[in-house]
Structure 1
């Protein structure tokens, strides 16, 4: 399972603690040093069942600086994927990608539904 995050992000730190408290194994990846590639993002979006806009870090400085709130609705999926693949700080984090699921952002109830309160497969 791949855990993609920004180590300085407090939400990512909480998500990592969630995994470690439950002894859930994962591969760590720093999104700032190793940004998700376009094909990875496309695959994750497919597996998650979420709209692509949910993969954007809407509270991030870069998102706001680029005026993406107004620009995204006029962009096609390829343009959006190109943007996400170009800058890891535009990507919502953390991302937890398993073989048959992808969780975007850290919502404890959602993660507990997947893993249970004590870990395992939930």
Structure 2
């Protein structure tokens, strides 16, 4: 039985809209969660991080102005501190984030999306 797909999205995000369109075109069902209204919990973010290949860099929007303004040295901060920062300020998360608990797709990635069907 396939585990349900959770789709963390933000409506004005172009990559989120493209991914949503792809999911609809391929009849992939998912549970949509607005990234800022239904922010991932600490445990959810830890599970998402466990699925990454690059760790925090894979889900953190390091090119965002908000992140640059924060002047955070990722080598000087604990993972739990960084997860708490992401919960407080989910704009720092790359989007969209899709996971079924076993796989993780960050950003609009048609090749990775094909693995869902």
TM-score, normalization: structure 1?
Answer: 0.83
Q: CA deviation at 1:15?
A: 0.7
Give 1:95's match in structure 2, choosing from 91, 94, 97. 97
1: CA distance, partners of 2:105 / 2:11: 17
Q: What residue number does 1:20 align with?
A: 24
Deviant stretches of 4+, over 4 Å: none
Greater helix fraction, Structure 1 or Structure 2: 1
- Work out whether 1:82 is the aligned partner of 2:79: no
Q: What residue number does 2:70 align with?
A: 66
Considering only aligned residues, what root-mean-square deviation do their CA atoms show, in Å?
A: 1.5
Mean CA deviation greater in 52-61 or 22-31: 52-61
2: CA distance, partners of 1:8 / 1:107: 18
Which ranges of structure 1 fall in alignment gaps of 5 or more residues?
A: none
- Work out whether 1:10 is the aligned partner of 2:45: no
Which ranges of structure 2 fall in alignment gaps of 5 or more residues?
A: none
Q: 1:96 aligns to what SS in structure 2? A: strand
- Work out whether 1:55 is the aligned partner of 2:59: yes
2: CA distance, partners of 1:75 / 1:53: 13
